[in-house]
Amino acid sequence: MPDITKLIHNYLRHDKKFPHVWCPGCGNGIVLGSLIRAIDNIGLSKDDVVLVSGIGCSGRMPVYVDFNTLHTTHGRALTFATGIKLANPKLNVIVVMGDGDATAIGGNHFIHAARRNIDLTAIIINNNIYGMTGGQYSPTTPYGKRATTAPYNNIEHSFKIAELAICAGAVFVGRGTVYHTRLLDELIEKAILKKGFGVVEIVSHCPVQYGKLNKLGTAVDMMKWQKDNAIRVEKAKKMTKDELEGKIVIGILADKELPIYQDEYEKIWEKAGAKKIAQEGK
């Protein structure tokens, strides 16, 4: 059996809930592929993986995979994940969100999760638009671009998600694209392995909404744009601000050490005189 088939059989609920809801050309499937390869490569037990999502196209991802899966409310995925991780720290809790989900309605939860440094992995698929509701502008829709709620053009300025995560205190921040899948596999794997709050921003594309409204061509054209405009962080360091205008810097943007919340909480238990109580399986 080819490796890809093994992965599909092992990780996807292939006999239950397919076909999926994503449009032809969507980047979400590429992200899901990378996520599965990363988890497989690390060798995590499926019983110990929790995949949590919010609302939107990305929110449908957990239904397809054979982990403990949770599809929460819009923007709140990280809050549910916080409760899961603190109640059972042995679980690997991975949260997948979209740009609107993570930085508009869930923006507050996102920065506070980064600040707290709970050992979670946040994967944010950034396609610059609200896809599921039909192409409204999001906090990452670039200035001047069109959306159904910006029919003339967008007059707001966009968030840079990875930089926002760094400023909020995330210990590991990477940015990739759905074109650069090998890098993506590596970034997701490192973010999962990182002790603390790891963030991977994934630049993706929505050909049916954002692409169509802004005449950016097909999914292939949009991925080609990612290829042509992505700059590795190592190279970007040698470039001027002007040269980097309109480019996407990809790679590991931040990697630092900070005590994680759960380890700090162990000390609280000691101070409080708690008897060693196993948190597992209660």
> Across-strand partners of 51?
69, 94
User: Minimum distance from CB of 71 to other proteins (Å)?
Assistant: 4
User: Which one, of 109, 125, 116, lies nearest residue 162 by Cα?
Assistant: 125
Q: Where in 93-132 is the site for other proteins (CB under 8 A)?
A: 108-109, 112
- The least CB distance from residue 140 to other proteins, in Å, is 21
Which C-beta is closer to other proteins: that of 2 or that of 273? Answer: 273
At a CB cut-off of 8 Å and minimum separation 6, what does 231 contact? 239, 244, 247, 248, 249, 250
**For 201, phi and psi rounded to 5 degrees?**
-90, 130
Q: How far is the CB of 101 from other proteins (least distance, A)?
A: 13
Residue count (the chain):
282
Binding characters for other proteins, 168-187, by CB under 8 A (x = yes): --------------------
d(CA 195, CA 169): 14
Q: Compute the least distance from the CB of residue 133 to other proteins, in Å.
A: 15
**How many residues of this chain bind other proteins (CB under 8 A)?**
49
Q: Figure out which of the listed residues 35, 50, 168, 222 binds other proteins, where binding follows CB under 8 A.
A: 50
- The reply to whether 15 sits near other proteins by the rule CB under 8 A is no
Region from 72-80, 170-178, 188-196, 252-260 binding other proteins, contact rule CB under 8 A: 72-80
Strand, coil or helix: 259: coil
- Choose which of 3, 15, 47, 245 interacts with other proteins (CB under 8 A): 47
3-state SS class at 25: coil
200 forms part of the interface with other proteins (CB under 8 A) = no
Q: Is 151 helix (H, G, I), strand (E, B) or coil?
A: coil
